[in-house]
């Protein structure tokens, strides 16, 4: 949905249901487009019940889905209206998967109900995303207009993306990634052409802390901005959906970061919901920014080697929207704009020889002899609450092969998963689901102990909190040596003092489970380190900047500045740079060459310097003079 400034707060909600349901097309009756079949998209359901709308994997999967995230208790039915073209015997398929196949009952089982009657098939029992057959159902003349519902049977992450009814037994839907999206649009009667949203000076894709900071500073320079974000609330990892507190100093950007930062509450704390309200209120106050929340960018157009336009789909109704822009900012975290526009990017760990990042004390855990695909992993936060009675919990044999005998009643940042053979973008759903198994199994082990018997699962994020994936290559690749040795660049626009902090899986040292991580910290030579503007724009696409963990860096170079306040400083710099791009009619590289002093002054790094501020809002010492 598009949220304009005048009604942003009134329609802001912390639950995806509230924001999506306010759209006039949300929950419309599913109808036939060919008089012999009807497709119903679960993302378009008018009543989500207790099911969660999960759109985080849409850029890779090509679709979103409803998730029965019940923490072991079946959730309330989701339902929507349907109108069949005529009475008859319909063949049924549901787009679903058994997310944890093995020698046990599938944990994500659910039923499809037509009216009040359940179909005979139990869904969520076939491996991988597929159109699971549901047999046939007789639709009488009195059932032409009825409801379709999803009935969760377990409370353990059942999922469904669409349900298809057809009078033709051979009309099985396609599963091919290249055919499925268009087939689905045709079946629900959605046009293939995108609705033009006009032209923007700056299009920001990704509304985490980096994207928010960029929007604030660009707005201050009179830049017309569109923020496209695939979730219903801004903040990314800091949002109430994931609940990671921010780290890193404000540097010289405190006036901006104060508007969007979080208090330093424990990770997972529901106080993140209050921080959301503050952030959304302050973002609403911007005069030149339009927000397109719950929109997933799915394609872009190139013209003369530049990004000309992006296309995004609104999750609630499938509407395609087209945005043309002069400048673009990739703050997606996963580097989607850079990837789609053909930029060179890095993934994994560089050889210790390429940037001389070797640290002999820690050997391969720090920087390998040969490059590999290991990156810092993704986390799923969770916690329990005390009750006044012994808690009952279903058997979870499917979780024990991951959790083994591990015992826990909450999960902090160390609950993290990465593997050399799993990609943090393309295998993100598998990684998230692995963490679900770790959590449910460890909790089940815990409540078997008397001291934990009254602890009930209270909250588990269904969104995965990522640390590292694609890193778009700019004119300078920021390295661990740059940070460790406190290299001061003439085009520095970000300052940080946090130690280099690189994570590894404890399993590599023989730990019995594979979902726990540990950190290695490397000290900084002269307390502070600096990020140059040349690491914040793409070398291959002239009108693309990056802010956040997809900036131009090595694996070790990402270790320190990957945290949200430092990424927010990157957003501050790129937003100001977009203002200079508009002012001078130039691209980022030319701003870095011809107007870097002006950019640095805007960022507080040139001329009369504002005080350095830490994340608590306190003034901190200036960097010592270097010879």
Q: pLDDT of 54-96, one tens digit each?
A: 999 999 999 999 999 999 999 999 999 999 999 999 999 999 9
Nearest by Cα to 563 from 280, 321, 299, 208: 208
pLDDT(406) > 70: yes
| CA-only gyration radius of the chain, Å | 25
CATH number, span 195-352+468-602: 3.50.50.60
3-state SS class at 334: coil
Query: CA 351, CA 377: separation in Å to the nearest integer?
Result: 19
Contact 573, 599 (CB under 8 A): yes
CA distances from 21 to 70, 146, 239 (A): 21, 20, 20
Joined together, the tokens standing for residue 544 give: 């693309």
Q: Report the pLDDT averaged over residues 27-41.
A: 88
pLDDT digits (tens, 9 = 90+) for 183-195: 999 999 999 999 9
> What is the phi/psi pair of residue 486, to 5°?
55, 45
- For the ranges 17-26, 130-139, 222-231, 499-508, the lowest mean pLDDT is seen at 17-26
Nearest by Cα to 346 from 374, 378, 367, 306: 374
β pairing state of 225-228 and 289-292? parallel
Catalogue the E-assigned strands of 87-214: 88-96, 110-114, 117-118, 130-139, 145-152, 156-166, 195-205
pLDDT for 245 equals 94
Query: CA 308, CA 328: separation in Å to the nearest integer?
Result: 9
pLDDT(303) > 70: yes
Residue with tokens 């053979």: 421
> What is the phi/psi pair of residue 137, to 5°?
-140, 135
53 strand-pairing partners: 66
**Cα–chain-centroid distance for residue 237?**
8
pLDDT for 463 equals 96
CATH number, span 24-188: 2.60.120.260
205 strand-pairing partners: 228, 330
pLDDT band at 626 (very low <50, low <70, confident <90, very high): low
Contact 558, 367 (CB under 8 A): no
pLDDT(15) > 70: no
pLDDT for 5 equals 41
Joined together, the tokens standing for residue 450 give: 């008397």
Cα angle 236, 378, 470; round to 5: 75
pLDDT for 625 equals 74
pLDDT digits (tens, 9 = 90+) for 489-523: 999 999 999 999 999 999 999 999 999 999 999 99
Joined together, the tokens standing for residue 36 give: 């012999």
Percent of the chain with pLDDT over 90: 93
Contact 28, 20 (CB under 8 A): no
Contact 457, 418 (CB under 8 A): no
Nearest by Cα to 107 from 94, 93, 118, 123: 123
Question: CB-side exposure of 14: number of CA atoms within 13 Å?
Answer: 16
Joined together, the tokens standing for residue 500 give: 């280099």
Contact 206, 525 (CB under 8 A): no
Q: Report the pLDDT averaged over residues 554-578.
A: 98
Domain ranges of the chain: 24-188, 195-352+468-602, 378-460
Nearest by Cα to 144 from 27, 24, 35, 25: 35
CA distances from 468 to 58, 158, 201, 544, 552 (A): 18, 27, 29, 20, 12
pLDDT for 30 equals 85
Query: CA 136, CA 154: separation in Å to the nearest integer?
Result: 24
Joined together, the tokens standing for residue 24 give: 């006039």
Q: Is 232 left (phi over 0), alpha (psi -120 to 50) or beta?
A: alpha
CA distances from 521 to 398, 526, 556 (A): 35, 15, 11
């Amino acid at each position: 949905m598009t949220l304009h400034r005048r009604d942003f707060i009134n329609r802001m909600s912390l639950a995806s249901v509230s924001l999506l349901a306010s759209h006039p097309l949300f929950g419309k009756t599913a109808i036939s487009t060919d008089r012999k079949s009807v497709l119903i998209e679960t993302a378009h359901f008018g009543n989500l019940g207790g099911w969660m709308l999960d759109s985080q994997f849409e850029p890779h999967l090509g679709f979103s889905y409803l998730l029965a995230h019940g923490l072991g208790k079946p959730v309330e039915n989701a339902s929507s209206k349907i109108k069949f073209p005529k009475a008859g015997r319909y063949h049924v398929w549901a787009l679903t998967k058994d997310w944890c196949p093995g020698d046990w009952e599938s944990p994500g089982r659910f039923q499809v109900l037509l009216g009040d009657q359940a179909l005979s098939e139990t869904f969520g029992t076939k491996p991988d995303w597929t159109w699971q057959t549901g047999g046939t159902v007789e639709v009488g003349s009195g059932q032409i207009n009825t409801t379709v519902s999803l009935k969760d049977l377990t409370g353990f992450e059942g999922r469904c993306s669409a349900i298809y009814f057809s009078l033709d037994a051979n009309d099985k839907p396609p599963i091919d990634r290249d055919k499925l999206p268009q087939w689905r649009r045709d079946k629900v009667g959605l046009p293939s052409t995108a609705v033009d949203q006009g032209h923007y000076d700056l299009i920001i894709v990704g509304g985490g802390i980096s994207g928010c900071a960029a929007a604030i500073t660009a707005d201050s320079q009179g830049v017309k901005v569109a923020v496209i974000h695939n979730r219903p609330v801004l903040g990314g990892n800091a949002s109430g959906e994931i609940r990671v507190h921010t780290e890193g100093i404000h540097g010289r950007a405190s006036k901006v970061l104060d508007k969007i930062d979080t208090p330093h509450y424990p990770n997972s704390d529901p106080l993140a919901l209050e921080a959301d309200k503050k952030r959304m209120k302050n973002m609403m106050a911007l005069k030149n920014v339009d927000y397109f929340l719950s929109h997933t960018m799915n394609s872009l157009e190139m013209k003369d080697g530049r990004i000309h336009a992006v296309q995004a789909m609104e999750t609630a109704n499938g509407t395609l929207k087209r945005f043309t822009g002069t400048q673009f900012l990739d703050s997606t975290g996963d580097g989607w704009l850079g990837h789609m526009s053909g930029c060179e990017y890095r993934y994994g760990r560089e050889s210790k020889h390429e940037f001389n990042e070797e640290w002999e004390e820690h050997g391969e855990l720090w920087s390998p002899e040969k490059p590999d695909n290991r990156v810092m992993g993704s986390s799923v936060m969770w916690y329990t609450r005390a009750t006044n009675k012994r808690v009952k919990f279903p058997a979870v044999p499917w979780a024990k092969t991951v959790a083994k005998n591990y015992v826990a009643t909450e999960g902090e940042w160390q609950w993290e998963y990465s593997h050399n053979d799993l990609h943090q973008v393309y295998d993100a759903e598998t990684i998230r689901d692995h963490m679900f198994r770790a959590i449910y199994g460890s909790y089940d082990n815990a409540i078997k102990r008397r001291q934990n018997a009254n602890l009930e699962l209270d909250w588990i994020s269904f969104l995965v909190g990522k640390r590292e994936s694609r890193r778009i290559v700019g004119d300078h690749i920021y390295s661990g040596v740059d940070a460790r040795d406190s290299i001061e660049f003439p085009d520095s626009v970000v300052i940080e003092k946090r130690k280099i902090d690189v994570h590894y899986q404890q399993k590599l040292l023989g730990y019995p489970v594979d979902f726990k991580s540990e950190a290695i910290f490397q000290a900084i030579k002269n307390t502070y380190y600096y990020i140059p503007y040349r690491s914040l724009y793409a070398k291959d696409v002239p009108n693309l900047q990056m802010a956040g963990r997809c900036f131009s860096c090595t694996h070790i170079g990402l270790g320190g500045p990957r945290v949200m306040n430092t990424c927010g400083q990157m957003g501050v710099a790129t937003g100001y740079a977009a203002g200079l791009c508009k002012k001078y009619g130039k691209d980022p590289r030319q701003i870095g060459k011809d107007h870097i002093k002006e950019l640095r002054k805007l960022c507080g790094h040139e001329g009369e310097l504002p005080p350095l501020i830490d994340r608590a809002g306190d003034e901190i010492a200036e960097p010592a003079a270097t010879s």
